[in-house]
Amino acid sequence: MSYSTAGPLRAVTLDDVRGAQKMLSGVARVTAMESSRHLSQLVGVPVYLKCENLQRTGSFKLRGAYVRIAGLLPEERAAGVVAASAGNHAQGVALASSLLGVHATVFMPKGAPLPKVSATRDYGAEVRLHGQVVDETLAAAQEHAARTGAVFIHPFDHPDIIAGQGTVGLEILEQCPTVRTIVVGIGGGGLAAGVAVAVKALRPEVRIIGVQAEGSAAYPPSLAAGRPVTVESPSTMADGIRVARPGDVPFAIVEELVDEVRTVTEGELSAALLLCLERAKLVVEPAGASPVAALLGGADGLGGLEGPVVAVLSGGNVDPVLLQRVLRHGMAAQGRYLAVRLRLADRPGALATLLGVLSVADANVLDVSHVRTDPRLGLTEAEVELHLETKGPAHCAEVRQALRDAGYTIID
């Protein structure tokens, strides 16, 4: 997805962020800061989680949307606002507009998850489903703005948006005054830019690390080129940071103030989401879990870390269907799923005997596929494919060995 910003670039200052913080008082929650013993042990320094997944609307997006809309002139408010989004930005604009008494029209893709569409409507916006991908939805929103005079509310490429998101940085400094490293996910760059403006102005020694999904990483090539460049066909489960081109305004800030941008894989994102759920008891969407994914490799994976470290969990709006798939992916990435295929004698009780071996090995059977008519099989053979839940890589090896010891040949 690509966006363009209208108007000249304007610097975002600490005073802008402080003004946004006053504006958001009583509107946005001061979200919790939770310690993570597991991540602290993994990284070797104290790690804290900034829980923007518990923000109103389920993400940090309300902050920037409210500041942007609150700053409109009376005649602009009267014309209404329009936005395009598949999720978090849509909900932030919807609630902000409702609180400020401004009519909001939000264009969403036809395939947007139903919970996100319903939430956006419940927050008071008029939702229009258009297009199959966000680029088509964006074009429809911009056409609506040109035709009606409604103000287009950009998800990240505007100084007011960045100032609003920067209030996350001020809260981090208030809640963890000794912080030495902040890790934050990057899509278009609004959140990372805002946090960097606030933190570097007050604590220039704090290291800020941005994280992008490997399949949608526009910032590394952009930083190398010295200008925003477009990544063709960005692809990642982390739709909150799936952006093809950095915004002009946030790019200039990220280039100057963010110390490092690294990427994480889909497997690391899945494992991070699973960790947040199991260890921190927090529901986090893949984009929100990206800072945790960056920490899973330990301090060495990030070139060494000074602590305390704060990882910003930017959002928790995950579709239940996607959550189920991602959790399975995360468990597989951690070696907690095992798929095996083997042949056995096609006689009564053979499958029950096999399942008995697995029971003794303490492997939980999730799915069984039993084939008896494949032409590859002999007249007295059957083939079984099993999907098992295990306790980790070591247990997977134990289960495979138990099958071999019982006389089964595993087909790789």
**Which active-site residues does the annotation give?**
61, 314
Residue matched to tokens 């606030």: 198
b/e string for 96-114 if b means 16 or more Cβ within 10 A? bbebbebbbbbbbbeebbe
Strands 337-345 and 409-410, how do they pair?
antiparallel
Question: Side-chain half-sphere of 219: how many Cα atoms within 13 Å?
Answer: 30
Cα(82)–Cα(322) distance, rounded to whole angstroms?
27
The residues, any chain, with a CB within 8 Å of residue 22's CB and separated by 6 or more, are none
CB 283 within 8 A of CB 53: yes
CB 31 within 8 A of CB 51: yes
Cα(317)–Cα(331) distance, rounded to whole angstroms?
20
CB 334 within 8 A of CB 392: yes
**Residue 264: helix, strand or coil by DSSP?**
strand
Strands 181-185 and 47-51, how do they pair?
unpaired
Cα(189)–Cα(252) distance, rounded to whole angstroms?
10
What single DSSP character describes residue 50?
A: E
The three-state DSSP-derived secondary structure of 338-376 is EEEEEEEECCCCHHHHHHHHHHHCCCEEEEEEEECCCCC
Amino acid at 35: S
390 phi/psi in degrees, rounded to 5: -125, -175
Can you read off the two tokens belonging to residue 75?
């005649």
Strand positions, DSSP E, 118-232: 126-129, 151-152, 181-185, 207-213
Cα(160)–Cα(147) distance, rounded to whole angstroms?
24
Cα(123)–Cα(173) distance, rounded to whole angstroms?
31
